[in-house]
A and B are shown apart, each in its own frame.
Chain A
Amino acid sequence: MKKLTYPFSVEQVRSLKVGDMVSISGKLFTGRDAVHKYLHEGNPSPVQLKNQIIYHCGPVVLKDEKTSKYRVVAAGPTTSSREEPYQWQVIRDHGIVGVIGKGGMGPKTLKACQEYGCVYFHAVGGAAQVLAEKIKSVDGVHLEQFGPPEAIWELTVEDFPVVVTIDSHGNSLHKNVLETSQQKFDEILKSQKSHH
């Protein structure tokens, strides 16, 4: 298990490789569909994203009526591929060094990771409780008008468990698994045909 500790940097993430299990401690910003579309349209980010990590996540957050403090009740990753049209640009223009999500991303993101120095971390989809436990504080919320799942939540995490599935050297586990499973599927199709 490798450790990645705040403040993050391009040098840090360049040392990571596909298949590395990593434990992240420090700051994360959630951002999903609405945020990516918003940034893609050229709107300014309400937070400084340089050298930060974006987490594709729409958490369940409760607000304590008395203290007005937020508490994250559940916070697993959402499917990242929906951000594929936008992510490369957010990496380029905002200088993020990490993206956490699930399900992997495509060639545009892979290329941007290599070019600008960024890594795609895969969190376990559906593991909302294990991951919420790693959130130590909610430090702010931005673009709240998008609704709680779509807003930018500023979080501090400790030992947040992820796996590197796209590194900054042009490697993608998703590409590999797709290719090998596609190959096996082709073999199955062929053998199904030969039965007749």
Chain B
Amino acid sequence: MTKKKAKTMSRKLAKVQTKATIKKKSRTSKMGTAKSSKKGASKKGGSFLFESLLELIRRTSAEIPDDVQKVILEALEREEKNTTAEYAMTIIKANIELAKKKSQPLCQDTGTVLVYVSHPQNFDQLGFSETFKKAITAATKKGYLRQNSVNSVTGKSEPTNLGPGHPVIHFHQHKKNHVEVKLMLKGGGCENVGAQYSLPYAPIEAGRDMDGVRKVILDAVVKAQGQGCGPGVLGICIGGDRGSGYVESKEQLLRKLHDKNPDPVLATMEADIVATCNKLGIGPMGFGGKTTLLGCKVSYQHRVPASFFVSISYMCWAFRRQGISLGSNNSIKNWLY
């Protein structure tokens, strides 16, 4: 966990808090040295990149990370007995156990495939992308992923599960010698209830200050009701432009649920949003009940004077994210969540 380490602002948190344990590592990592062969890194002798990525996809789709499971079980305990809210949470618990046991998707909507790659310099991004795409197509054939890529112009569903913007790949260079790959599968139901507000927002008199920010966040949760498969988790970015704000709000979802925001103002806000939303009575699936949110993660970016956006990404309870750090030969060295 982060503790006092992060003096950088919260936007850096996701990267800081999953700090890998291994520092010393062979410089001969295939991903580190591959000089962009179009064949992709897995074709290089002895690389297990394809296998590692396929396993990352399987596990992300079938297993909920420990930090999320913990808060789900706490939420189940909180709900009143013999209510539809408790019933929903009981089914959610059973589903988590069953998906893991059967190694099958937690949710049939295996979502937008979002991958975040942190790598050292001289890393072969093209090779990685190509291998990752192959892993997606293979995972789709195996039923870890649904055929989920639709051509927006023709309406045709793409059997390879690939296409422009599918998957979404973010590369980020870091100073460590090894590669870390984080994967998030974000279903359409929760993506649809995401929102971006431009302050001031007149309908609820939300001004250009932190009070205004709080108001629009609560507004988004009320508008979402049960449609995002709550109880959910919010990832929020205050500021930025329309594009960068949404990207950052999603990256907040890479943080572990029990971490603490190093920025005290944002840490207070995160706790307040969860507590306040849980008083709204929307509850699991919108059935009414005590748990509307499982967590809230807030970050900020600077803005230009004329713009003040608040970008809100909603993650469903079926919070599918995992990560791996790669060893030499690109085998899985350890799991990040």
Contact = CB atoms under 8 A, between A and B. Distances in A.
Nearest to A34: B155
Interface stretch (B23-31, B45-53, B98-106): B98-106
A102 B226 contact: yes
Nearest to B101: A129
A19 B84 contact: yes
Interface stretch (A8-16, A46-54, A108-116, A147-155): A147-155
B218 A188 contact: yes
B92 A79 contact: no
Given A181-B282, A189-B204, A128 B92 contact: no
Given A103-B227, A104-B227, A188-B218, A21 B84 contact: yes
B227 to A, nearest CB: 4
Contact of A177 (B88, B143, B156, B287): B287
Contact of B108 (A62, A74, A103, A193): A74
A73 B108 CA distance: 8
Given A128-B108, A130-B91, A177 B148 contact: no
A128 B204 CA distance: 37
B282 to A, nearest CB: 5
A43 to B, nearest CB: 15
A126 B276 CA distance: 25
Contacts of B95: 124, 126-130
Given A57-B108, A125-B285, A129-B95, A147 B147 contact: yes
A58 interface: yes
Contact of A74 (B146, B205, B229, B279): B146
Determine the main DSSP class of B at the interface with A: loop
A136 B192 CA distance: 31
Interface string B266-303: 00000000001001111101111000000000000000
Given A126-B229, A127-B94, A148-B147, 17 more contacts: A19-B84, A58-B108, A76-B109, A103-B225, A103-B229, A122-B287, A125-B226, A125-B229, A126-B92, A126-B316, A126-B317, A130-B94, A147-B156, A177-B286, A178-B225, A181-B280, A184-B279
A96 interface: no
A57 B91 CA distance: 17
Contacts of B155: 34
B189 A103 contact: yes
A182 B222 contact: yes
Contact of B157 (A104, A124, A149): A149
B317 to A, nearest CB: 6
Given A124-B95, A130-B94, A148-B157, A79 B285 contact: no
16 contacts: A34-B155, A73-B143, A74-B104, A79-B227, A102-B227, A102-B229, A103-B229, A124-B92, A126-B106, A126-B187, A128-B104, A149-B148, A163-B84, A163-B287, A185-B222, A188-B276
Contacts of B282: 177, 181
Contact of B281 (A59, A149, A184, A193): A184
B167 interface: no
A146 interface: yes
A171 to B, nearest CB: 14
B312 interface: no
Q: Report, nearest first, the 4 A-B pairs whose CB atoms are least far apart.
A: A147-B157, A126-B318, A103-B227, A125-B229
B31 to A, nearest CB: 30
A130 B317 CA distance: 15
A133 interface: yes
A192 B316 contact: no
Interface in B211-228: 211, 214-215, 218-219, 222, 225-227
Contacts of A137: none
A75 interface: yes
Nearest to A82: B192
A165 interface: yes
A18 B205 CA distance: 35
Contacts of B257: none
A69 interface: no
A80 to B, nearest CB: 9
Nearest to A37: B155
A190 to B, nearest CB: 11
Contact of B226 (A129, A130, A174, A182): A174
B120 interface: no
Nearest to A122: B285
A159 B227 CA distance: 24
B287 A75 contact: no
Contacts of A21: 84, 87
A193 B70 CA distance: 35
